[in-house]
Chains A and B, each alone.
Chain A
């Protein structure tokens, strides 16, 4: 097996480079067989990775009895039973809590991160690299290292089961990522243009709007996307610090950890609904996702 692929390799090299040249002159040659095999392999791997999600979607649209058969009934009639029982359980408060926590913490993160990024790039403070790496190091401090004092403080300050406490914690959780990202984008603002704006007597507001914003907007979008996703997904803090009033969607989902008879369609419907905002945002902004995940290191 391995010898055949290795033998085929040099041949395929010439073929792919030939193919590339052919593409430029608009005369597409017939792709070689190894090329075809790799394409098929890529499709198979992609399908394997997406299969569990497709299965989740299909199961969520089956009735509970059809969802729990063995062998699985793929072509069973579609049903909204799972969604009905899920929405009968009133998932709106946790969904709204998640939206509030994710959206507000993202706004707070950006409000704090933008000036900080400015002070670490355009008009840098002394020892700005140390400060930058301090921020990064806090991201490596595991949540469990501080969760008990955060819980005890909330208990004393009557902040348990309060969505604002989660918002504050999610802000501190995501702030380092946003600062790193915004700094790397702000560092690309051309100095000459800043100086030109200053010579022209442009105020801070105009400089921000005309010179800085066009360069930094993509970075702000990436940071917002990734902060929103991480806050929306968070479970440990929400599980410990909220109970009934401020519980978020992941906490709501933990209600499905132990099996409860025929409930697979409901579990799949719930999991899909809770994941929908992340799926939609991630698909819409795939490139931003890469930037955000690598904290701006990959542009």
Chain B
């Protein structure tokens, strides 16, 4: 009896020791990530319920939901929410469609295909601030930018010389971001296209299926998870875009998105409480996207481990 129970506890401790041996390699990364991402966010939640402006340190204290009320009544904050939604959805949709079209063009054998692929990737390899500077000064500038230069070339001295950024500030930002993210979409979709089972497609072709039929009935369903992966990864990055908004318009002309709004509230206005409340709102919004993203990642993941 006694020996049996001793053996039992011994086995349990050994199993426990084995469990910890398995966990040990994981712990440094896990603890590090929790400390660097979860703890700051908890602090953000706490600060979001405080009246805390670095310019008025004496008035620091808890105020309940005042910051949230001011966020939902502040026109700037509401506009930032709308800009974020418009910016993210339009960039992701346009670059996905362009990326799909270009991936289809590149999924054929032709002379110079790898050269075209390399040219296509280039925009993604420009540092985002540098790319935004390029669009702002070298392309959009009304006096010496390339766009108005081309207009002068084509239409002569009387050519219209629009001020692209002032006329359509948000569109100017969207185009510049689409230019950088289309290659990303294209790369993932091209990888998806090239993983199609070619023998099945060949068989369908011999059975008389048209290119369009093959595209809608075989290629698109196969691509679906790649489209979802590209779209959702793209959304995660574009929702956080700061570089282009900061560089091209400095958040002016109604183009401030939530990351820029938070940066401004915390860094320039030093209103820590309100910036934190906005941060919490962003996270809630992101959770909605992220749930979809995680589900996609999970379905891809299950297929891969099958």
Interface positions of A (Cβ within 8 A of B): 6, 9-10, 12-13, 16-17, 23, 35, 38-39, 41-43, 45-47, 49-50, 52-53, 55-56, 59, 67-72, 112-113, 115-116, 118-120, 123-126, 129, 131, 133, 135-153, 168-169, 171-172, 175-176, 179, 184, 187, 229, 232-233, 235-236, 239-240, 249-250, 253-254, 256-257, 259, 263-264, 267-268, 270-272, 274-275, 278-279, 282-283, 286, 289-290, 293-295, 297-298
Residues of A with C-beta under 8 A to B139: 52, 55
Name the distance in Å between B261's Cβ and chain A's nearest Cβ.
Answer: 9
Contacts of A71 in B (CB 8 A): 149-150, 152-153
Q: Does B51 contact A (CB under 8 A)?
A: no
Task: Given A46-B120, A70-B148, A257-B247, decide whether A142 and B36 contact each other with a Cβ distance below 8 A.
Answer: no
Please report the C-alpha to C-alpha distance between residue A67 and residue B141 in the assembled complex, in whole angstroms.
Answer: 12
**B36: shortest Cβ distance to chain A, in Å?**
4
Q: Judge whether B122 and A294 touch: CB under 8 Å.
A: no
CB distance from B277 to the nearest CB of A (A): 11
B296 nearest in chain A by CB position: A297
User: Once the chains are docked, how many angstroms separate the CA of A6 from the CA of B138?
Assistant: 40
Q: Mark B96-127, 1 if CB is under 8 A from A, else 0.
A: 00000010011011111101111111111111
Interchain pairs with CB closer than 8 A, number: 326
Query: What are the residues of chain B within 8 A of A46 when measuring CB–CB?
Result: 115-117, 119-120
Least Cβ distance of A176 to chain B in Å?
7
Q: How far is the CA of A147 from the CA of B258 in the complex (A)?
A: 13
Is A49 a contact of B120 with CB atoms below 8 Å?
Answer: yes
- Cβ of B243 within 8 Å of any chain A Cβ, yes or no, is yes
Nearest-neighbour CB distance to chain B for A53, whole angstroms, equals: 5
Q: List 7 A-B contacts (CB under 8 A).
A: A23-B109, A55-B146, A264-B137, A267-B137, A290-B191, A293-B188, A298-B192
> Which listed residue (B108, B118, B183, B293) contacts A38, Cβ 8 A?
B108
Check B138–A49 contact: CB distance below 8 A: no
Chain B residues contacting A119 (CB-CB under 8 Å) are 22-26
Q: Give the chain A neighbours of B131 by CB distance below 8 A.
A: 271
Asked whether B110 lies within 8 Å of A38 as measured between CB atoms, the reply is yes
* Separation of A32 and B136 alpha carbons in the complex (Å): 42
Residues of B within 8 A of A138 (CB): 33, 37-38
Which residue in A39, A41, A175, A264 is a CB contact (below 8 Å) of B33? A175
CB < 8 Å neighbour of A149 from B47, B127, B202: B47
Q: Are B30 and A116 in contact, with the CB atoms below 8 A?
A: yes
Bound Cα distance from A277 to B304, whole angstroms? 33
- With A and B bound together, what is the CA distance between A170 and B191 in angstroms? 28
Q: How far is B300's CA from A22's CA once the two chains are assembled, in angstroms? A: 37
Beyond A49-B119, A282-B121, whether A140 also contacts B127 by CB under 8 A is no
- Cβ–Cβ contact A142 & B126, under 8 A: no
Interface flag for B29 (CB, 8 Å): yes
The B contact surface, by secondary structure, is: helix
Pick from A126, A129, A140: contact of B290, CB under 8 Å: A140
Are B233 and A294 in contact, with the CB atoms below 8 A?
Answer: yes
Q: How far is the CB of B154 from chain A (nearest CB, A)?
A: 9
**Beta-carbon contact of B275 and A172 below 8 Å:** no
Using an 8 Å CB-CB cutoff, how does the interface string of B164-187 with A read, 1 for contact, 0 for none?
Answer: 000000000000000100111001
Residue of chain B at shortest CB distance from A98: B127
Determine if B294 and A133 form an interchain contact, defined as CB atoms under 8 angstroms apart.
Answer: yes
Binding site for A on B (CB under 8 A): 19, 22-26, 28-30, 32-33, 36-41, 43-44, 47, 102, 105-106, 108-113, 115-131, 133-139, 141, 143-144, 146, 148-150, 152-153, 161, 179, 182-184, 187-188, 191-192, 195, 202, 205, 210-212, 214, 226, 229-230, 233, 236, 239-240, 242-243, 246-247, 250, 258-259, 262-263, 266-267, 272, 275-276, 278-280, 282-283, 286-287, 289-290, 293-294, 297-298, 300-301, 304-305
Chain A hits for B133, CB < 8 A: 253, 256-257, 267, 271
Contact A172 B36 (CB under 8 A): yes
Given contacts A10-B211, A274-B130, contact A264 B138 (CB under 8 A): yes
State in angstroms the CA–CA spacing of A50 and B179 once bound together: 10
Q: Measured between alpha carbons, how far is A122 from B117 in the docked complex, in Å?
A: 36
Q: Are A298 and B259 in contact (CB under 8 A)?
A: no
B304 near A297: Cβ-Cβ < 8 Å: yes
Q: Report the bound CA distance from A6 to B141 in whole Å.
A: 41
Contacts of B39 in A (CB 8 A): 149
Which residues of chain B come closer than 8 Å to A35, judged between CB atoms?
Answer: 108, 110
Task: State whether B184 touches A271 (Cβ < 8 A).
Answer: no
Q: Are B126 and A279 in contact (CB under 8 A)?
A: yes
The residue that B128 contacts in the complex, of A38, A52, A56, A233, with Cβ under 8 A, is: A233
The reply to whether A17 and B28 contact each other, CB–CB distance below 8 Å, is no
Contact A39 B36 (CB under 8 A): no
A-B pairs with the 7 shortest C-beta distances?
A146-B40, A115-B25, A271-B130, A172-B36, A149-B43, A46-B116, A116-B29
Residue of A nearest to B261 (CB): A144
Choose among B110, B272, B305 the residue that contacts A187 (Cβ–Cβ < 8 A). B305
Residue contact B236 to A39, C-beta cutoff 8 Å: no
Q: Are A278 and B297 in contact (CB under 8 A)?
A: no
Contact of B210 (CB < 8 Å), options: A10, A59, A184, A232: A10
CB distance from A97 to the nearest CB of B (A): 14
**Docked-complex contact A268 and B212, CB < 8 angstroms:** no
Give the chain A neighbours of B143 by CB distance below 8 A.
68, 70
- The answer to whether B33 touches A135 (Cβ under 8 A) is yes
